[in-house]
């Protein structure tokens, strides 16, 4: 599906950052038909959550497997080839050229879409410099986006702050997936580059990833539906 055709409801990806498969399944049940797209990341994957990718996909949900792979190209390629069998829609790799090239080789002709993580949303310029990078956030995100596109990556993970500039670089067909989403008044936690759902969509994001504001809420379904309503309003 082309990004412009995605229904507002399907643009919310809820991060199942929960301690066990039982807790994740209970959250999916609680969210019911409201949420169609889930993200499984480190916490759940390392707690036995990989089979849940296939279970959710078989039940009609979409799954974003956020493993942020990064290794020598051959290892990434072999890992991605294994992951193609799980039924995920999206898989993340870090946006290093060897890593992205290996991932594209491993993905082969499967339907799995590869997302390159440009610069983590918990990083600002100072964090990048402390990690030894010469470029600031916006320069590094844009440079990595150009490399990702040239290597055949399907989408980018960035903060919504970079979505507008990225759209101009990669065009309309590349999926822009943005964590760092905070409904007005929500705690930012460790996220440093954040936006509200409505502003993120207006800035050009295709998908919004939201974890703690939904899964730690007393009424997760109400929060998820409020975010979806904000998305719909921003799309007009």
Ligand X SMILES: O=c1ccn([C@@H]2O[C@H](COP(=O)(O)O)[C@@H](O)[C@H]2O)c(=O)[nH]1
Active-site annotation, residues:
68
3-state DSSP assignment of residue 89: coil
3-state DSSP assignment of residue 93: strand
Question: Does the protein bind ligand X through residue 121 (CB under 6 A)?
Answer: yes
Residue 124 marked ligand-binding: no
Alpha carbon distance 61, 59 (integer Å)? 6
The count of chain residues that interact with ligand X, using the rule CB under 6 A, is: 16
3-state DSSP assignment of residue 27: helix
Question: Does the protein bind ligand X through residue 102 (CB under 6 A)?
Answer: no
Q: Which of 157, 163, 166, 170 touches ligand X (CB under 6 A)?
A: 157
Q: Which residues of 196-235 are buried (b: 16+ CB within 10 A; e: fewer)?
A: bbbbbbbbbbbbbbbbbbbbeeeebbebbbbbbebbeebe
Alpha carbon distance 196, 233 (integer Å)? 13
- Nearest distance, CB of residue 13 and ligand X, angstroms: 9
Residue 30 marked ligand-binding: no
Residue 212 marked ligand-binding: yes
Contact string (CB under 6 A) for ligand X, positions 40-69, x = contact: -x------------------------x---
Residue 161, token pair as written in the block: 């702050």
Q: Which of 12, 14, 15, 24 touches ligand X (CB under 6 A)?
A: 15
**Residue ranges binding ligand X (CB under 6 A):** 15, 17, 41, 66, 117, 120-121, 157, 179, 189, 191, 209-213
> Binding site for substrate, residues?
17, 39, 66-75, 121, 182, 191, 211-212
């Amino acid at each position: 599906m082309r990004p412009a055709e995605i229904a507002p409801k399907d643009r919310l990806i809820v991060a199942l950052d929960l301690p066990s498969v039982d807790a994740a399944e209970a959250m999916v049940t609680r969210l019911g038909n409201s949420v169609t797209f889930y993200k499984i990341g480190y916490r759940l994957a390392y707690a036995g959550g990989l089979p849940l990718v296939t279970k959710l996909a078989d039940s009609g949900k979409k799954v974003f497997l956020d493993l942020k792979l990064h290794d020598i190209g051959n290892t990434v390629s072999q890992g991605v080839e294994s992951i193609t069998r799980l039924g995920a829609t999206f898989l993340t790799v870090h946006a290093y050229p060897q890593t992205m090239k290996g991932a594209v080789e491993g993905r082969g002709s499967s339907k799995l879409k590869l997302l390159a993580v440009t610069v983590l949303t918990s990083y600002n310029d100072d964090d990048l410099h402390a990690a030894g990078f010469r470029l600031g956030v916006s320069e590094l995100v844009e440079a990595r986006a150009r490399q990702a596109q040239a290597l055949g990556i399907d989408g980018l993970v960035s903060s919504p702050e970079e979505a507008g500039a990225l759209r101009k670089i990669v065009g309309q067909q590349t999926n822009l997936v943005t964590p760092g989403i905070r409904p007005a008044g929500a705690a930012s936690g460790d996220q440093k580059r954040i936006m509200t759902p409505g502003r993120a969509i207006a800035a050009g994001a295709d998908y919004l990833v939201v974890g703690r504001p939904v899964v730690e809420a007393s009424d997760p379904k109400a929060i998820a539906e409020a975010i979806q309503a904000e998305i719909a309003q921003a799309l007009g």
